[in-house]
Chain A
Amino acid sequence: MSAPHPQVSSTPWAIDIDHVGKVFTLDNGESLVAVDTVDLKIEKGEFVALLGPSGCGKSTILRLVAALEDPTTGRIAIENRDPLSLSRQHRLGVAFQDHALLPWLSVKNNIALPYKVAGRPVDHERIADLLGLVGLKGFENARPSQLSGGMRQRVSIARALILNPDVLLLDEPFGALDAVTRRHMNVELQRIWGEERITSLLVTHSVEEALFLADRVIVMSGRPGRVVKSIAVPFERPRRPEVQRTAEFHSLADELTLALEPEEAAAS
C-alpha cells in the first residue's frame, strides 16, 4: 500500500492529492472503498471542478482536503502543509450545500464569524466590501430566516472568503437551489472569483456549472471512486453567460456527459 511515488518535501502545487484512497467501515462490518487512489494536482489560483454522480466519492475528496476526514492511504498537502494545520491557522474557506448559517446571527455577524473563531479583530470594512461583492448591501442586519435560498448561499460564500483563505472549498454550494437561481448564482460566483482568484475546488454534479466555472474539470466514476477523465476548459476569463450557448461549450458538455454515463455511451 505504500505510495509508489517518491516522497518530495516540496511541490509546486497549491493542493497536492497524492495517491489518496479512503475506505469506510460499514454498518455490517464490511468496508467500502469510497475513493480509490486518486492523484490530483491543483495549481495556485486554479479553479478545479470535481464532477460525478452522487456517491462517487467527490465529496469525500473535498472533505479530505478540508481535513474533515483522514485519508486511508496516500497523503494530501496544501501549500506543502498538512490540511489540518491549515485549518488550525484559519486558512481554509468553505461553503456547503447546507448553508450552515447560524440562525441567531445577522448577515453581518455570520460573515464576521470566522474572525471571531480565529480570535482576530473584526474588519468591518472588509465585511462591507464583501457584502457589496456578493450583492447583499442593505441586508447587513437581516437574519438568515428572512433570506431566500440564493441569498443565504451568497452569505455563505462571503463568509468563506472573509479571511482571504489560501484555498476555497465549495461542496455543491448551489445544489439546493432551483435551476434559474442556480444559473444566476453561477454567473455571480464566476464574477466574484474573478476578483479574488483563490485556488478553488468545486464539487458538483452539474456539467454546465463545472464547465462555466472551472479551469479544469475532473470527471469521477463511482464505487470505487476514481478519476476517469480530465479536461482543460479553454474559455477566456471573465466569462460571460453567453459562453454557455457556444458550440464549443456544447461539445465539451457532451463529452463530459458521455464520460459521466459510460454505459449509455457503450450502448449507443
Chain B
Amino acid sequence: MMKIDREKATDLVLGVLGIGLFLVLWEVIGAYRLAGLTWPKLSDVLAFLFEPSRQGLFLRAMGASFSMVAAGYVLGLVIGIAMAALVHVINPLRPGMDRFASVVNAIPPIALAPIFIVLLSREVTGMAIATLNVFFVIYVATTSGLQSSTRGHRDLFAVIGASKIRRFMSLDMPAAFPALVSGMKYAIPAAFIGAILGEWFGSSRGLGLLMVSAMQNFQIPLLWSAVLIASTASLLAFGAMSLLERFVYGRFR
C-alpha cells in the first residue's frame, strides 16, 4: 500500500496539475489573444457568469434545460430497464430489440428532430432526443448486466427449484446492478447532448438556445458561459454517478 498509495497520490497530483494547466492555458490564450478575439479569458467568462444582473437569464435557461435533461434521463432510464427486462424474460424478442436499439443509436438525432417537432412540440424535442440517447445506453448496459450472473449461481437456483420470476428478482437483477449503474453514469452526458441538440432545433428557451443565439450574434462571453454551465453540470452529475458506481461495485461485486 505504501507503494500503491504513492502511485495514487502521484495520479492525484498529476490530475490536479493537468486541470490547473488547462485552466491557466485557457486564461493565457484569452489574455494574449492567441486564438483571436473569439477566445475569452477564463476570468472574463467567470465574471460574466456571476454578474448579478444576469442571474435571472442563466437561471431561467438552466431551469428549462435541466428539466428537459432530467425528464429525458428518467424516461430513458425507465424505458431502457423495462425493455431490457422484457427481452430478458421473453428471450425471442431480444434480437429485434437489440437491432432496434442499435438503429436508434445510429440515427443522427438531427434526422429525428422533424418527427418529434411534428409529433410532440418544439419545447420537448430536447427531452425526446435525450430519452432516446439514454434509452440506448441503459438498454445495452442492462441487457449485458442481466446476463452476468454466473453459471454456478444459475445452476444453484435451478437446483433449489426457484421460479423464473424468483430467479430474475433474486439473482439476475442484483447481478445486473453494477452494469446498470455504469450505464447510468455514461447516460449523463448523453442526456445533456440530447437536450442541447433539441434546443438547437427551434426551442424558445434553454442553454442550447443561448448558445446558438450567442454564436450568431458574436456574444462571445455569453456563448462560453452557456457551454461552461452545461459542461459543469454534466461533469458534476457524472461525478456523483461515479461515486454511486464505486459504492455499488463495493457492495454488489
Contact = CB atoms under 8 A, between A and B. Distances in A.
A28 B1 CA distance: 6
B6 to A, nearest CB: 11
Nearest to B1: A27
Nearest to A26: B1
9 contacts: A25-B2, A25-B3, A26-B1, A27-B1, A27-B2, A27-B4, A28-B1, A29-B1, A29-B2
Interface of A: 25-29
Contacts of B2: 25, 27, 29
A27 B2 CA distance: 6
Nearest to A27: B1
B4 to A, nearest CB: 7
Nearest to A25: B2
Interface in B1-32: 1-4
A114 B3 CA distance: 32
B7 to A, nearest CB: 13
Contacts of A28: 1
A47 to B, nearest CB: 36
Q: Which 7 A-B pairs have the closest CB atoms?
A: A27-B1, A29-B2, A25-B2, A28-B1, A25-B3, A29-B1, A26-B1
Contacts of A25: 2-3
B12 to A, nearest CB: 18
A26 B1 CA distance: 7
Contacts of B4: 27
Nearest to B4: A27
B2, B3, B4: residue with the most chain A Cβ atoms closer than 10 Å: B2
Nearest to A28: B1
Given A27-B2, A27-B4, A29-B2, 6 more contacts: A25-B2, A25-B3, A26-B1, A27-B1, A28-B1, A29-B1
B221 to A, nearest CB: 50
A28 B4 CA distance: 11
Nearest to A29: B2
A29 B4 CA distance: 11
Interface string B56-70: 000000000000000
Contacts of B1: 26-29
A26 B3 CA distance: 9
Contacts of A27: 1-2, 4
B199 to A, nearest CB: 45
Nearest to B3: A25
A27 B7 CA distance: 13
A145 to B, nearest CB: 19
A245 B3 CA distance: 50
Interface in B134-150: none
Interface string B154-198: 000000000000000000000000000000000000000000000
